[in-house]
Amino acid sequence: MLNLFQYGFMIRALEVGVLIGAIAPLIGIFLVLRRYSLIADTLSHVSLAGVAIGLLLSINPLLTAIGAAVVSSVVIERLRLSKRVYGESALSIFLSGSLAVAIVLISLAHGFSVDLFNYLFGSIVTVKQSDVFIILGVGIFVFLAIVAFYKELTYITFDEEAAQVGGIPTRFINILLIILAALTVALAIPIVGILLIAALIVIPVVTALQLKKSFLHTIFYAEAISLFSVIAGILSSFYLNLPAGGAIVLIALGIFILSLFYKRDYNAR
Amino acid sequence: MHTIDHTKSIIELKDVSFSYGEELVIKDVNLQVHKGDYLGIIGPNGGGKSTLLKLMLGLLLPTKGEVLLYSAPINKFRDWYKVGYVSQHVTHIDPHFPMTVEEVVTMGRYPQIGLFRFPMQKDKDIVKEALGHVEMLQFKDRLVGDLSGGQQQRVFIARALAGQPEVIILDEPTVGVDVKTQKQFYTLLQKLNTELHLTLVLVSHELDIVGHEATEIAYINRELIYHGVPKKFLHSEYFEKLTGKGIHTDA
């Protein structure tokens, strides 16, 4: 068996993977329970446009992806609040619009390359040392922000009106959540890939929800499922030469299917 | 023993009007809620009851006039912990939301705990006490989605109590529960008002019940048509007119 820790890229992939695996369900639980999981999909497509801008201007695509995702997330939220457009339609517009931008920019840059394939589906070799610093730095910020505002995020997710009456700054918390989601999506691109990140945000949470536990326990189970999927996915990517994102999502999906067979034993409670 | 200053104004509406776009929903309403009151706001559906309540809570701002909470203009009011709120969609909560009774009630502490802090032992004790008041302590580890409508309602009352408020505002709390549960619920409200000395404001379409439970009645149909003791209201022409037309029933 190959010793994977000989390879710098494997160490980088695991470092980044564990962090992404840790923050994805923390964002996911709030998005899923607010029926807002499609935002992850939309923001990932926006990130692709960001990547394309980066490739075209020869800037680190991770940085341009972060920028594009954050800016769009704020615009989407404003559009939703203005009620000029249905929330869902705002997501649709951004999803297809940014895909169009991405495709045009990519063909202007240098056409469809292997590089692009890595961004679409994730790869353990895409993660550069400079990316590790960006992902760890921003990722830890996202993690701390969720912990710091955990109470407020929980309250607006469960009962936004009561939270508002209680004096929770609901507008700020809403915009914070969507920006944190944008950051998470963009950070996950190198390892999970644009087309699969939404799955990592959503599937572990939906799986944990099948277990019908308390809120805190649901988060713990989602964390465990996400981290297991990410680590197992990266390892199988290494040994079996699979795209990392695909392997991660397939493992998470497998656990989800198993969870559907879980039946709660009422008498044992 | 508490002595209650019944003259202390808690909520005051001065010439309040509110319109949704062109449609005038509330017109020139003057209303005061005093400490210790148990006010039932009643009226036909679409008569502006819930709008009036949202104005009291600052969820809507009046198009004209002024709302005062504890004598402060509502936009300057900061002591929101004094106001507990039990919203209408209590009976429509997401049954799949993964949250235990204890977790739900703990949320009532959140506004007071403040940013960047977490619940401490003191908060846990207050949560337990609140659950005790509504007789739901033995259900604290159950998922709230697994409870009956009446039990959920008690949990939401407990959440409001956990904030240690002085006034609790309830929006149609008995929608969708059976008669027996309803009765128990009103007994609980009586207890909150008389034993815990909480000021209560209750919006309901159940005219006859509220008429016998509340200490004061405000009948609203765009304008404030009656405000005073229920006894007089029940014998008044409005009541006859209403029951005659059956406006207050079901729906």
| Residue in chain B nearest A205 by alpha carbon | B98
Contact A165 B118 (CB under 8 A): no
Q: What is the ipTM of this complex?
A: 0.86
Does some domain include residue A149? Answer: yes
pLDDT at residue number B128:
96
Query: Which token pair is A250?
Result: 């397939």
Task: Please identify among residues 105-164 of chain B the ones whose CB lies closer than 8 Å to any CB of chain A.
Answer: 107-108, 110-111, 113, 115-116, 118, 141, 143, 159, 163
pLDDT at residue number B245:
46
Q: Which CATH number does the domain housing residue A194 bear?
A: 1.10.3470.10
pLDDT tens per residue across span B208-245? 788 888 999 999 998 888 888 887 777 776 666 666 54
Residue B73, chain A, CB below 8 Å: the answer is no
Spatial distance between the Cα atoms of A75 and A73, rounded to a whole number of angstroms: 5
Residue B85, chain A, CB below 8 Å: the answer is yes
Query: Is the pLDDT assigned to residue A265 strictly greater than 60?
Result: no
Query: HSE-up of B244 (CA within 13 Å, CB side)?
Result: 8
Strand partners, B32: B12
Query: Is the pLDDT assigned to residue A267 strictly greater than 50?
Result: no
Residue A166, chain B, CB below 8 Å: the answer is yes
Query: Which token pair is A126?
Result: 């895409």
Helices (DSSP H) in chain A: which residue ranges? 8-33, 38-57, 61-82, 87-109, 114-121, 129-148, 150-158, 160-165, 170-192, 197-210, 215-240, 244-259
pLDDT at residue number A208:
96
Do residues B53 and B41 make contact, with C-beta atoms less than 8 angstroms apart? yes
Residues of B in contact with A213 (CB under 8 A): 98
Categorize the per-residue pLDDT at A112 as very low, low, confident or very high, splitting at 50, 70 and 90.
Answer: low
Residue A137, chain B, CB below 8 Å: the answer is no
Residue A264, chain B, CB below 8 Å: the answer is no
Q: What percent of chain A has pLDDT over 70?
A: 95
Does some domain include residue A267? Answer: no
Residues of A in contact with B113 (CB under 8 A): 151
Q: How near does any CA of chain A get to the CA of B5, in Å?
A: 25
Q: How many CB pairs under 8 A join A and B?
A: 71
Categorize the per-residue pLDDT at B132 as very low, low, confident or very high, splitting at 50, 70 and 90.
Answer: very high
Backbone angles phi, psi at B182, to 5 degrees: -60, -45
Tally of domains in chain A: 1
Query: Is the pLDDT assigned to residue B4 strictly greater than 60?
Result: yes
Query: Is the pLDDT assigned to residue B138 strictly greater than 90?
Result: yes
Who's near B64: CB < 8 A, 6+ residues apart? B15, B16, B17, B18
Summary mean pLDDT of chain B: 86
pLDDT tens per residue across span B49-89? 989 999 999 999 999 999 999 999 998 888 888 999 998 76
Q: State whether residue A41 is helix, strand or coil.
A: helix
Contact A214 B118 (CB under 8 A): no
Please tell me which of the candidates B59, B94, B98 has its beta carbon nearest to residue A213. Answer: B98
Sheet of B199-203: strands edge to edge?
B83-86, B167-171, B199-203, B38-42, B216-221, B223-228
Categorize the per-residue pLDDT at A111 as very low, low, confident or very high, splitting at 50, 70 and 90.
Answer: low
Residues of A in contact with B70 (CB under 8 A): none
pLDDT at residue number A1:
56
Residue B41 is which amino acid? I
Do residues B202 and B170 make contact, with C-beta atoms less than 8 angstroms apart? yes
pLDDT tens per residue across span A181-207? 999 999 998 888 888 899 999 999 999
What predicted TM-score, i.e. pTM, was given to this entire model?
A: 0.89
pLDDT at residue number A217:
96
Determine the structural domain holding residue A218 and report its residue range: 4-262
Which option is the CATH number for B37-50+78-215+225-245: 3.40.50.300, 3.30.1120.10, 3.30.413.10, 3.30.300.30? 3.40.50.300
Distances (CA, A) of B111 to A146, A170, B130, B232: 17, 12, 16, 40
Please tell me which of the candidates A33, A163, A217 has its beta carbon nearest to residue B97. Answer: A33
- C-alpha dihedral sign at A187, A193, A199, A203: negative
Residue A209, chain B, CB below 8 Å: the answer is yes
Do residues A156 and A168 make contact, with C-beta atoms less than 8 angstroms apart? yes
Categorize the per-residue pLDDT at B207 as very low, low, confident or very high, splitting at 50, 70 and 90.
Answer: confident
